[in-house]
Amino acid sequence: MQHYCTEYLWRISFGTVEQRYFLLMKPDCMINRGKGTDKGMRQTWKLLTGAACLVFLAFPVLQVEAAAIKAFVSISPQRYFVQKIGGDLVDVSVLVPAGASPHNFEPKPRQMAELSKSAVYFAVGIDFEKFWLKRIAAANPKMHVVYTDDGIARIPMIDHDHEETSRRPQPQELKAEVPAKDNHGGVSPDPHVWLSPALVKIQSGHILDALVAIDPVHRSTYGSNYVSFMREIDELDAELKALFAGRKGEQFMVFHPSWGYFAEAYGLVQVPVEIEGKEPKPAQLRNLIRHARERHIKVVFVQPQFSAKSAELLSREIGGQIVYADPLAENWPGNLREVARKFGAAAR
Ligand code: ZN
Protein backbone atom coordinates (compact mmCIF):
# COMPACT_ATOMS: atom_id res chain seq x y z
CA MET A 1 0.00 0.00 0.00
CA GLN A 2 2.69 2.48 1.01
CA HIS A 3 4.85 1.45 -1.92
CA TYR A 4 2.07 2.16 -4.45
CA CYS A 5 1.15 5.32 -2.68
CA THR A 6 4.63 6.90 -2.89
CA GLU A 7 5.06 5.67 -6.46
CA TYR A 8 1.92 7.43 -7.65
CA LEU A 9 2.52 10.50 -5.55
CA TRP A 10 5.50 11.20 -7.83
CA ARG A 11 3.13 11.61 -10.71
CA ILE A 12 1.28 14.44 -9.13
CA SER A 13 1.91 17.67 -10.91
CA PHE A 14 -0.40 20.11 -9.20
CA GLY A 15 -0.03 22.21 -6.07
CA THR A 16 2.79 24.37 -4.71
CA VAL A 17 6.28 23.04 -3.97
CA GLU A 18 5.48 22.87 -0.25
CA GLN A 19 2.27 20.96 -0.86
CA ARG A 20 4.06 18.50 -3.13
CA TYR A 21 6.80 18.00 -0.55
CA PHE A 22 4.14 17.16 2.01
CA LEU A 23 2.41 14.74 -0.37
CA LEU A 24 5.63 13.02 -1.38
CA MET A 25 6.55 12.14 2.17
CA LYS A 26 6.17 8.45 2.83
CA PRO A 27 3.05 7.59 4.76
CA ASP A 28 5.18 6.05 7.54
CA CYS A 29 6.95 9.42 8.01
CA MET A 30 3.54 10.90 8.51
CA ILE A 31 2.74 8.29 11.13
CA ASN A 32 6.09 8.93 12.85
CA ARG A 33 5.21 12.57 13.07
CA GLY A 34 2.32 11.58 15.25
CA LYS A 35 4.56 9.59 17.61
CA GLY A 36 5.08 10.90 21.04
CA THR A 37 1.73 12.64 20.95
CA ASP A 38 -1.41 11.17 22.44
CA LYS A 39 -3.21 8.10 21.04
CA GLY A 40 -5.98 10.16 19.41
CA MET A 41 -3.46 12.16 17.42
CA ARG A 42 -1.78 8.98 16.14
CA GLN A 43 -5.18 7.66 15.02
CA THR A 44 -5.79 10.90 13.14
CA TRP A 45 -2.45 10.58 11.30
CA LYS A 46 -3.27 7.00 10.33
CA LEU A 47 -6.64 8.05 9.00
CA LEU A 48 -5.15 10.93 7.02
CA THR A 49 -2.49 8.63 5.56
CA GLY A 50 -5.08 6.06 4.55
CA ALA A 51 -7.27 8.68 2.91
CA ALA A 52 -4.31 10.13 0.99
CA CYS A 53 -3.40 6.67 -0.33
CA LEU A 54 -6.97 6.03 -1.49
CA VAL A 55 -7.12 9.35 -3.32
CA PHE A 56 -3.82 8.82 -5.09
CA LEU A 57 -4.45 5.19 -5.92
CA ALA A 58 -7.38 6.43 -7.99
CA PHE A 59 -5.07 8.52 -10.19
CA PRO A 60 -3.55 5.75 -12.34
CA VAL A 61 -7.10 4.53 -13.17
CA LEU A 62 -8.07 7.99 -14.41
CA GLN A 63 -4.85 8.22 -16.38
CA VAL A 64 -5.53 4.92 -18.24
CA GLU A 65 -9.04 6.05 -19.16
CA ALA A 66 -7.78 9.36 -20.47
CA ALA A 67 -5.22 7.58 -22.64
CA ALA A 68 -7.65 5.05 -24.22
CA ILE A 69 -7.76 5.24 -28.01
CA LYS A 70 -11.10 6.62 -29.18
CA ALA A 71 -12.48 4.32 -31.85
CA PHE A 72 -15.69 4.17 -33.86
CA VAL A 73 -17.26 1.14 -35.52
CA SER A 74 -20.33 0.98 -37.75
CA ILE A 75 -22.29 -1.80 -36.01
CA SER A 76 -22.45 -3.46 -32.57
CA PRO A 77 -20.81 -6.83 -33.34
CA GLN A 78 -17.70 -4.89 -34.42
CA ARG A 79 -17.48 -3.34 -30.95
CA TYR A 80 -17.15 -6.88 -29.61
CA PHE A 81 -14.24 -7.57 -32.04
CA VAL A 82 -12.37 -4.33 -31.27
CA GLN A 83 -12.82 -4.73 -27.50
CA LYS A 84 -11.55 -8.32 -27.65
CA ILE A 85 -8.31 -7.11 -29.23
CA GLY A 86 -7.99 -3.64 -27.69
CA GLY A 87 -9.31 -4.36 -24.18
CA ASP A 88 -9.22 -1.31 -21.89
CA LEU A 89 -6.77 0.44 -24.19
CA VAL A 90 -9.56 1.28 -26.63
CA ASP A 91 -12.82 3.14 -26.06
CA VAL A 92 -15.25 1.96 -28.76
CA SER A 93 -18.43 3.77 -29.90
CA VAL A 94 -21.00 2.27 -32.29
CA LEU A 95 -22.38 4.53 -35.00
CA VAL A 96 -25.59 2.63 -35.92
CA PRO A 97 -27.74 2.41 -32.77
CA ALA A 98 -29.57 -0.76 -31.75
CA GLY A 99 -32.80 -1.18 -33.70
CA ALA A 100 -31.71 0.90 -36.73
CA SER A 101 -30.92 -0.67 -40.10
CA PRO A 102 -27.30 -0.13 -41.18
CA HIS A 103 -28.38 -0.09 -44.83
CA ASN A 104 -30.00 3.34 -44.89
CA PHE A 105 -28.54 4.89 -41.73
CA GLU A 106 -27.57 8.58 -41.45
CA PRO A 107 -25.34 9.85 -38.59
CA LYS A 108 -26.82 12.54 -36.31
CA PRO A 109 -25.00 15.91 -35.94
CA ARG A 110 -24.10 14.92 -32.36
CA GLN A 111 -22.45 11.76 -33.71
CA MET A 112 -20.54 13.75 -36.33
CA ALA A 113 -19.14 15.87 -33.48
CA GLU A 114 -18.10 12.71 -31.59
CA LEU A 115 -16.52 11.31 -34.75
CA SER A 116 -14.34 14.39 -35.08
CA LYS A 117 -12.62 13.33 -31.80
CA SER A 118 -12.11 9.72 -32.86
CA ALA A 119 -8.61 8.37 -33.60
CA VAL A 120 -9.76 5.47 -35.75
CA TYR A 121 -12.82 4.27 -37.68
CA PHE A 122 -13.27 0.56 -38.35
CA ALA A 123 -15.45 0.20 -41.47
CA VAL A 124 -17.09 -3.11 -42.35
CA GLY A 125 -18.34 -2.39 -45.88
CA ILE A 126 -22.03 -1.80 -45.08
CA ASP A 127 -24.09 0.38 -47.45
CA PHE A 128 -24.22 3.67 -45.54
CA GLU A 129 -20.41 3.84 -45.28
CA LYS A 130 -20.11 4.34 -49.06
CA PHE A 131 -21.59 7.81 -48.79
CA TRP A 132 -20.89 8.81 -45.18
CA LEU A 133 -17.34 7.64 -44.66
CA LYS A 134 -16.01 10.24 -47.11
CA ARG A 135 -17.76 13.01 -45.17
CA ILE A 136 -16.68 11.62 -41.79
CA ALA A 137 -13.06 11.36 -42.94
CA ALA A 138 -13.14 14.87 -44.42
CA ALA A 139 -14.34 16.27 -41.08
CA ASN A 140 -11.48 14.52 -39.23
CA PRO A 141 -8.47 14.15 -41.57
CA LYS A 142 -6.24 12.81 -38.73
CA MET A 143 -8.53 9.82 -38.16
CA HIS A 144 -7.32 6.42 -39.43
CA VAL A 145 -9.96 4.71 -41.57
CA VAL A 146 -9.55 0.93 -41.51
CA TYR A 147 -11.44 -1.22 -44.03
CA THR A 148 -11.79 -4.42 -42.03
CA ASP A 149 -13.50 -6.21 -44.94
CA ASP A 150 -10.40 -5.84 -47.14
CA GLY A 151 -9.52 -9.14 -48.78
CA ILE A 152 -12.96 -10.72 -48.25
CA ALA A 153 -14.50 -12.15 -51.44
CA ARG A 154 -18.12 -10.96 -51.51
CA ILE A 155 -20.97 -13.27 -52.44
CA PRO A 156 -23.89 -11.58 -54.22
CA MET A 157 -27.19 -11.02 -52.44
CA ILE A 158 -29.43 -13.40 -54.35
CA ASP A 159 -33.16 -13.45 -53.87
CA HIS A 160 -35.39 -16.45 -54.20
CA ASP A 161 -36.65 -15.55 -57.67
CA HIS A 162 -33.13 -15.53 -59.08
CA GLU A 163 -31.53 -18.50 -57.45
CA GLU A 164 -32.39 -21.53 -55.37
CA THR A 165 -29.07 -21.57 -53.57
CA SER A 166 -26.64 -19.00 -52.24
CA ARG A 167 -23.66 -20.17 -54.29
CA ARG A 168 -20.46 -18.30 -55.03
CA PRO A 169 -20.57 -16.26 -58.27
CA GLN A 170 -18.47 -17.08 -61.31
CA PRO A 171 -15.75 -14.49 -62.09
CA GLN A 172 -17.61 -13.14 -65.14
CA GLU A 173 -20.68 -12.54 -62.96
CA LEU A 174 -18.66 -10.49 -60.49
CA LYS A 175 -17.39 -8.26 -63.29
CA ALA A 176 -20.97 -7.57 -64.31
CA GLU A 177 -21.86 -6.57 -60.73
CA VAL A 178 -24.41 -3.81 -60.53
CA PRO A 179 -24.06 -1.04 -57.95
CA ALA A 180 -25.86 -1.63 -54.64
CA LYS A 181 -29.40 -0.35 -54.39
CA ASP A 182 -31.05 0.77 -51.18
CA ASN A 183 -31.38 -2.29 -48.97
CA HIS A 184 -29.25 -4.23 -51.48
CA GLY A 185 -31.38 -6.58 -53.52
CA GLY A 186 -30.77 -8.52 -56.70
CA VAL A 187 -27.12 -9.22 -57.38
CA SER A 188 -25.37 -6.51 -55.33
CA PRO A 189 -22.55 -7.81 -53.08
CA ASP A 190 -23.62 -9.12 -49.69
CA PRO A 191 -22.29 -6.82 -46.90
CA HIS A 192 -23.08 -9.14 -43.93
CA VAL A 193 -19.47 -10.34 -43.56
CA TRP A 194 -19.49 -10.27 -39.74
CA LEU A 195 -21.76 -13.32 -39.53
CA SER A 196 -19.16 -15.89 -40.56
CA PRO A 197 -16.49 -16.81 -37.97
CA ALA A 198 -13.84 -17.38 -40.66
CA LEU A 199 -14.47 -13.89 -42.10
CA VAL A 200 -14.36 -12.31 -38.63
CA LYS A 201 -10.81 -13.67 -38.34
CA ILE A 202 -9.88 -11.64 -41.44
CA GLN A 203 -11.54 -8.51 -39.99
CA SER A 204 -9.72 -9.06 -36.68
CA GLY A 205 -6.36 -9.17 -38.47
CA HIS A 206 -7.03 -5.66 -39.83
CA ILE A 207 -8.11 -4.46 -36.36
CA LEU A 208 -4.90 -5.83 -34.82
CA ASP A 209 -2.69 -4.21 -37.50
CA ALA A 210 -4.38 -0.84 -37.03
CA LEU A 211 -4.12 -0.84 -33.21
CA VAL A 212 -0.44 -1.80 -33.35
CA ALA A 213 0.22 0.98 -35.88
CA ILE A 214 -1.59 3.58 -33.75
CA ASP A 215 -0.24 2.43 -30.38
CA PRO A 216 2.96 0.38 -30.90
CA VAL A 217 3.84 0.57 -27.18
CA HIS A 218 1.07 -1.94 -26.42
CA ARG A 219 1.87 -4.23 -29.33
CA SER A 220 2.30 -7.33 -27.15
CA THR A 221 -1.02 -6.78 -25.33
CA TYR A 222 -2.88 -6.46 -28.63
CA GLY A 223 -1.03 -9.49 -29.97
CA SER A 224 -1.91 -11.78 -27.07
CA ASN A 225 -5.52 -10.54 -26.98
CA TYR A 226 -5.75 -11.30 -30.70
CA VAL A 227 -4.39 -14.82 -30.23
CA SER A 228 -6.94 -15.65 -27.53
CA PHE A 229 -9.77 -14.17 -29.62
CA MET A 230 -8.71 -16.35 -32.59
CA ARG A 231 -8.84 -19.37 -30.28
CA GLU A 232 -12.36 -18.35 -29.17
CA ILE A 233 -13.46 -18.06 -32.81
CA ASP A 234 -11.98 -21.46 -33.68
CA GLU A 235 -13.90 -23.07 -30.83
CA LEU A 236 -17.15 -21.43 -31.94
CA ASP A 237 -16.57 -22.47 -35.55
CA ALA A 238 -15.87 -26.08 -34.56
CA GLU A 239 -19.05 -26.12 -32.46
CA LEU A 240 -21.19 -24.82 -35.34
CA LYS A 241 -19.59 -27.22 -37.83
CA ALA A 242 -20.47 -30.11 -35.50
CA LEU A 243 -24.03 -28.79 -35.14
CA PHE A 244 -24.62 -28.75 -38.91
CA ALA A 245 -22.59 -31.86 -39.79
CA GLY A 246 -24.46 -34.13 -42.20
CA ARG A 247 -27.12 -31.49 -43.00
CA LYS A 248 -25.64 -30.06 -46.19
CA GLY A 249 -28.20 -28.33 -48.43
CA GLU A 250 -30.89 -27.92 -45.76
CA GLN A 251 -32.83 -24.68 -46.14
CA PHE A 252 -34.06 -21.96 -43.81
CA MET A 253 -36.36 -19.11 -44.77
CA VAL A 254 -35.54 -15.56 -43.70
CA PHE A 255 -37.13 -12.18 -44.46
CA HIS A 256 -33.96 -10.07 -44.96
CA PRO A 257 -31.10 -12.19 -46.34
CA SER A 258 -28.42 -11.39 -43.72
CA TRP A 259 -27.17 -14.93 -43.32
CA GLY A 260 -25.56 -15.74 -46.69
CA TYR A 261 -21.98 -16.08 -45.35
CA PHE A 262 -23.20 -18.03 -42.34
CA ALA A 263 -25.16 -20.39 -44.62
CA GLU A 264 -22.16 -20.83 -46.88
CA ALA A 265 -19.84 -21.57 -43.95
CA TYR A 266 -22.04 -24.39 -42.63
CA GLY A 267 -23.44 -25.86 -45.84
CA LEU A 268 -26.95 -24.44 -45.42
CA VAL A 269 -29.15 -22.61 -47.95
CA GLN A 270 -30.76 -19.28 -47.11
CA VAL A 271 -34.16 -18.67 -48.79
CA PRO A 272 -34.97 -14.93 -48.60
CA VAL A 273 -38.52 -13.58 -48.51
CA GLU A 274 -37.45 -10.02 -49.37
CA ILE A 275 -36.94 -9.53 -53.10
CA GLU A 276 -34.48 -6.88 -54.32
CA GLY A 277 -34.73 -5.22 -50.92
CA LYS A 278 -38.53 -5.01 -51.05
CA GLU A 279 -41.54 -6.88 -49.70
CA PRO A 280 -42.49 -9.71 -52.13
CA LYS A 281 -45.31 -9.06 -54.61
CA PRO A 282 -48.39 -11.37 -54.38
CA ALA A 283 -47.15 -13.72 -57.13
CA GLN A 284 -43.71 -13.95 -55.50
CA LEU A 285 -45.30 -14.61 -52.14
CA ARG A 286 -47.32 -17.46 -53.68
CA ASN A 287 -44.07 -18.98 -55.01
CA LEU A 288 -42.51 -18.77 -51.56
CA ILE A 289 -45.56 -20.39 -49.92
CA ARG A 290 -45.47 -23.26 -52.43
CA HIS A 291 -41.74 -23.70 -51.91
CA ALA A 292 -42.05 -23.74 -48.10
CA ARG A 293 -44.88 -26.30 -48.25
CA GLU A 294 -42.88 -28.57 -50.57
CA ARG A 295 -39.84 -28.47 -48.25
CA HIS A 296 -41.95 -28.67 -45.06
CA ILE A 297 -40.41 -25.36 -43.88
CA LYS A 298 -42.37 -24.11 -40.84
CA VAL A 299 -40.30 -21.14 -39.65
CA VAL A 300 -39.75 -17.70 -41.21
CA PHE A 301 -36.86 -15.82 -39.59
CA VAL A 302 -37.12 -12.07 -39.09
CA GLN A 303 -34.81 -9.47 -37.55
CA PRO A 304 -35.78 -6.58 -35.24
CA GLN A 305 -34.62 -3.92 -37.74
CA PHE A 306 -37.17 -4.83 -40.44
CA SER A 307 -40.95 -5.07 -40.58
CA ALA A 308 -42.22 -8.62 -40.05
CA LYS A 309 -45.48 -8.08 -41.99
CA SER A 310 -44.97 -10.28 -45.05
CA ALA A 311 -43.07 -12.85 -42.97
CA GLU A 312 -46.09 -13.09 -40.66
CA LEU A 313 -48.44 -13.52 -43.60
CA LEU A 314 -46.20 -16.19 -45.07
CA SER A 315 -45.84 -18.06 -41.78
CA ARG A 316 -49.64 -18.10 -41.36
CA GLU A 317 -50.06 -19.53 -44.87
CA ILE A 318 -47.66 -22.39 -44.16
CA GLY A 319 -49.05 -23.04 -40.68
CA GLY A 320 -45.73 -22.05 -39.15
CA GLN A 321 -44.33 -19.22 -37.05
CA ILE A 322 -41.91 -16.30 -37.19
CA VAL A 323 -38.72 -16.50 -35.12
CA TYR A 324 -36.20 -13.70 -34.42
CA ALA A 325 -32.59 -13.99 -35.58
CA ASP A 326 -30.70 -10.73 -34.96
CA PRO A 327 -27.61 -10.19 -37.14
CA LEU A 328 -26.62 -7.07 -35.16
CA ALA A 329 -26.48 -8.30 -31.54
CA GLU A 330 -23.38 -7.11 -29.67
CA ASN A 331 -22.75 -10.41 -27.91
CA TRP A 332 -21.43 -11.88 -31.13
CA PRO A 333 -20.47 -15.44 -30.10
CA GLY A 334 -23.50 -15.89 -27.83
CA ASN A 335 -25.82 -14.64 -30.54
CA LEU A 336 -24.30 -16.85 -33.28
CA ARG A 337 -24.71 -19.88 -31.02
CA GLU A 338 -28.33 -18.97 -30.32
CA VAL A 339 -29.18 -18.29 -33.98
CA ALA A 340 -27.40 -21.49 -35.05
CA ARG A 341 -29.51 -23.47 -32.60
CA LYS A 342 -32.69 -21.88 -34.05
CA PHE A 343 -31.57 -22.52 -37.66
CA GLY A 344 -30.68 -26.05 -36.66
CA ALA A 345 -34.19 -26.64 -35.35
CA ALA A 346 -35.91 -25.03 -38.38
CA ALA A 347 -33.79 -26.07 -41.38
CA ARG A 348 -35.33 -28.67 -43.72
ZN1 ZN B 1 -28.74 -6.45 -44.12
pTM for this one?
A: 0.75
Q: State the chain's mean pLDDT as an integer.
A: 82
160 CA to centre of ligand 1 in angstroms: 16
Q: How far is the CA of 194 from the centre of ligand 1 (A)?
A: 11
Tell me the DSSP string of 217-274: GGHHHHHHHHHHHHHHHHHHHHHHHHHTTT-TT-EEEESS---HHHHHHHT-EEEESS
Query: From the CA of 250, how far away is ligand 1's center (Å)?
Result: 22
Q: Is the distance from CB of 160 to CB of 171 less than 8 angstroms?
A: no
Alpha carbon of 171 to ligand 1 centroid (Å):
24
* Domain 69-154+190-238 identical in fold to domain 245-346: yes
Query: What digits encode the pLDDT tens for the residues 18-68?
Result: 343 334 444 443 444 444 446 665 675 566 555 554 545 555 444 444 479
Q: What's the pLDDT tens digit per position in 179-233? A: 334 455 446 899 999 999 999 999 999 999 999 999 999 999 999 999 999 999 9
259 Cα–ligand 1 center, Å: 9
Four-way CATH pick for 69-154+190-238: 3.60.110.10, 3.40.50.1980, 3.90.1150.10, 3.40.50.170: 3.40.50.1980
Question: How many CB atoms within 10 Å of residue 251?
Answer: 20
Centroid of ligand 1 to alpha carbon of 103 (angstroms): 6
At residue 308 the predicted structure's pLDDT band, cuts being 50, 70 and 90, is: confident
How far is it, in rounded angstroms, from Cα 294 to Cα 306?
A: 26
Domain boundaries, the chain: 2-66, 69-154+190-238, 245-346
Distance, CA 192 to ligand 1 centroid (Å)? Answer: 6
Cα(306) to ligand 1 centroid in Å equals: 9
CATH 3.40.50.1980 fits 245-346, yes or no: yes
